[in-house]
């Protein structure tokens, strides 16, 4: 099923430029100083309520294109989606008219309990059917295409039958949703599970990719000596992830690129510097494209 | 091979085992995760336990953080370590029903009241109760208040049967300790104020709302609070006046209207009728506005 068309007007479209994840700590500074950044993305659930938080969002939306990124819809839950959550999301979408709406390939709700993290899915035909059903339902309710983000995972299931990149491609093909390609998550998951990140990129359908995420991660040593990469969004983007980003741009062209930083939040100036670096990569891709076209 | 639902229930059990909340229990605790354990591709059971521990830490951390944000004064009163331990204990028995975590923690005040390690801090639960009300007020929707002009246009005969819908960002609270003074002193780190508070029990009546400065926590006289409660509960005016007869009531109602504390009104049937009349703010006045009957606001000072 293909959903209806996307943005409602030029102002709300997200440009193929660098954006920043907007956190509460930066609300006032963004509204007061109006930094030179192309767009912002927020976590949808943070704005389900009213009051000053919602007012800040409207103030930002007045001056910038906005993307809504959900963490709690739980597309991979075996049980039905939470209707109240969906209607809150729909209300927020109506209120701010975001240029993009995204969620995760993961689950976080079972038995009416929200577990507080993005949990790993077994990559099976059953899970594929569940995720597609929930993406269809969400797109039908919102009358919008959504993007589904590839996860970072610390656990695989031996009974998985579908490589994650093929799973992502299948969800996009069956539902018409877009793909939010989180390059840091690809790097983290590939490192944790022994995948080749280039194979992952090559497995994503170019025409479905509509946004890219970049973030920092940490190396963690477990009690038994194993080393894992943890997607903690608490540091600058790693060198290897910048390199993988260039590979992604080569395959997908210039795409809206978001700098995420959610823990140990850095000053706005630091995020702007990361965004500027992404913008430089995007500019090089555009120059290369023009050179070929000339 | 487990179904998706079975697997998710097993993961939930692993993440939410009370004994497991403080760390990794080791291999024995994972018997419940049959499907994943039996079929996990490379890695021993210990590796599985450790990797699940990563998710457990994030789950717990997310919820503890939500409680930290909603109860900053409580956290200051008991200290960070005690708060974390209390929060973890609370999380074991009270799970969030939704990903909108500003709604998580309604039961934390009651939990604290029954939490033995906090027993000596007799006012702690009351402060938590106030903080929860503050949090709800801060996150409530905006709405426009009904004006005196709108109500006056209906004429004095309509007033006794009128009932009101309170603003979503309005909360009323009774506290058995001076929770408002403690809350304010703790958050302002005002040690002198803290030292001067008499913690002896005695009911205080609080009204919490948003105003131009952000948030206001006001003390009301007992009668004013009870009258306001009755109105906020949707009691028709004649009934609220009957419940709490007090000569200040008309002034109190005038202030509520001036501050936009009611967002809707309904016209009920007068006391003698059997059923309620439908609400219609456009209904023509039965009498022209003019003389203000005794218990109704007219030009009372704001």
- Verify whether the Cβ–Cβ distance B100 to A88 is below 8 Å: yes
Segment B243-267, tens digit of pLDDT: 988 989 999 999 999 999 999 999 8
- Beta-strand relationship, A227-230 and A218-221: antiparallel
Using a CB-CB cut-off of 8 Å, the residues of chain A touching B41 are: 156-158
What angle do helix axes B80-93 and B45-70 make, rounded to 10 degrees?
Answer: 110
Cβ of B8 within 8 Å of Cβ of A114? The answer is: no
What is the complex's ipTM, to 2 decimals? 0.93
Structure tokens at A160: 């998985």
Nearest Cβ partner for B8 among A82, A107, A116: A107
Q: Among residues A135, A121, A174, A224, which one has the least CA distance to residue B47?
A: A224
Q: Which helix (H) or strand (E) holds A108?
A: strand A107-110
Question: What residues in B contact A158, CB-CB < 8 Å?
Answer: 36, 38-41
Q: In A, residues 12-71, which contact B (CB 8 Å cutoff)? A: 45, 48-55, 71
Closest CA relative to residue A119, chosen from B38, B12, B83? B12
Residue of B nearest to A50 (CA): B141
- Among chain B residues, the shortest Cα distance to A43 is held by B100
Determine the 3-state secondary structure of B129 from DSSP.
helix
Q: At what angle do helices A183-193 and A239-252 cross, to 10 degrees?
A: 120
Q: Which of B3, B9, B94, B100 to mutate to test the interface with A (most CBs of A within 10 A)?
A: B100
Which residues touch A241 (CB under 8 Å, ≥6 apart)? A183, A184, A187, A214, A217
pLDDT in tens, chain A (294 residues): 334 433 334 345 999 999 999 999 999 999 999 999 999 999 999 999 999 999 999 999 999 999 999 999 999 999 999 999 999 999 999 999 999 999 999 999 999 999 999 999 999 999 999 999 999 999 999 999 999 999 999 988 988 999 999 999 999 999 999 999 999 999 999 999 999 999 999 999 999 999 999 999 999 998 888 889 999 898 999 999 999 999 999 999 999 999 999 888 899 999 999 999 999 999 999 988 888 776
> What pTM was computed for the model?
0.87
Residue B264 tokens read as 């809707």
> Which of B12, B11, B15, B18 has the alpha carbon at shortest distance from B89?
B18
Burial class (CB in 10 A: 0-12, 13-18, 19+), B299: exposed
- Residues in chain B closer than 8 A to A114 (CB atoms): 95-99, 101
Q: B140, A51: Cβ pair inside 8 Å?
A: yes
**A221: nearest CA in chain B?**
B50
């Amino acid at each position: 099923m293909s959903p209806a068309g996307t943005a409602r007007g030029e102002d709300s479209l997200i440009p193929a430029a660098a954006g920043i994840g907007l956190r509460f700590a930066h609300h006032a500074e963004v509204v007061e100083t109006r930094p030179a950044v192309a767009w912002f993305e927020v976590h949808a659930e943070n704005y389900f309520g009213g009051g000053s938080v919602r007012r800040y969002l409207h103030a930002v939306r007045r001056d910038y294109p906005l993307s809504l990124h959900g963490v709690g819809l739980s597309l991979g839950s075996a049980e039905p989606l939470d209707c109240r959550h969906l209607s809150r999301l729909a209300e927020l979408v109506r209120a701010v008219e975001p240029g993009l709406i995204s969620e995760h390939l993961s689950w976080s709700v079972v038995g009416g309990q929200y577990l507080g993290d993005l949990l790993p899915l077994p990559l099976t035909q059953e899970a594929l059917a569940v995720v597609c059903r929930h993406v269809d339902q969400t797109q039908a309710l919102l009358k919008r295409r959504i993007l589904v983000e590839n996860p970072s995972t610390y656990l695989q299931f031996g009974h998985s039958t579908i490589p994650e990149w093929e799973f992502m491609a299948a969800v996009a093909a069956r539902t018409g949703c877009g793909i939010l390609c989180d390059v840091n998550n690809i790097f983290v998951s590939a490192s944790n599970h022994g995948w080749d990140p280039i194979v992952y990129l090559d497995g994503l359908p170019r025409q479905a990719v509509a946004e890219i995420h970049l973030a920092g991660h940490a190396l963690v040593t477990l009690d038994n000596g194993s080393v894992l990469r943890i997607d903690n969004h608490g540091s600058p983007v790693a060198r290897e992830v910048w390199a993988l980003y260039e590979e992604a741009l080569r395959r997908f062209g210039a795409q809206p690129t978001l700098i995420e930083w959610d823990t140990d939040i850095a000053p706005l100036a630091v995020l702007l510097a990361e965004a500027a670096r992404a913008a430089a990569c995007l500019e090089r891709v555009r120059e290369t494209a023009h050179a070929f076209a000339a | 091979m487990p179904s998706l639902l079975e697997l998710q229930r097993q993961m939930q059990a692993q993440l939410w085992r009370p004994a497991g909340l403080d760390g990794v229990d080791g291999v024995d605790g994972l018997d419940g995760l049959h499907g994943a354990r039996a079929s996990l591709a490379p890695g021993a059971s210990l590796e599985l336990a450790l990797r699940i521990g990563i998710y457990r830490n994030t789950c717990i951390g997310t919820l503890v953080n939500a409680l930290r944000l909603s109860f900053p004064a409580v956290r200051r009163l008991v200290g960070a370590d005690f708060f974390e331990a209390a929060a973890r204990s609370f999380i074991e028995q009270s799970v969030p029903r939704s990903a909108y975590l500003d709604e998580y923690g309604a039961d934390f005040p009651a939990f604290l009241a029954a939490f033995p390690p906090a027993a000596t801090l007799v006012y702690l639960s009351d402060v938590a109760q106030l903080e929860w009300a503050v949090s709800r007020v801060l996150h409530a929707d905006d709405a426009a208040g009904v004006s005196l002009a709108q109500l006056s246009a209906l004429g004095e005969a309509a007033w006794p049967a009128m009932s009101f819908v309170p603003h979503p960002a309005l909360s009323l609270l009774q506290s058995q300790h001076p929770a408002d003074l403690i809350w304010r002193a703790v958050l302002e780190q005002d040690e002198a104020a803290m030292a001067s508070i008499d913690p002896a029990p005695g009911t205080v009546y609080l009204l919490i709302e948003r105003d131009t400065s952000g948030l206001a926590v006001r003390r009301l006289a007992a009668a004013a609070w009870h009258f306001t409660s009755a109105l906020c509960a949707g009691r028709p005016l004649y009934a609220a006046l009957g419940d709490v007869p007090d000569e200040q009531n008309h002034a109190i109602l005038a202030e509520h209207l001036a501050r936009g504390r009611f967002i809707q009104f309904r016209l009920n049937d007068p006391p003698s009728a059997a059923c309620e009349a439908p609400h219609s703010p456009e209904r023509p006045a039965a009498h022209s506005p003019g003389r203000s009957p005794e218990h109704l606001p007219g030009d009372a000072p704001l």
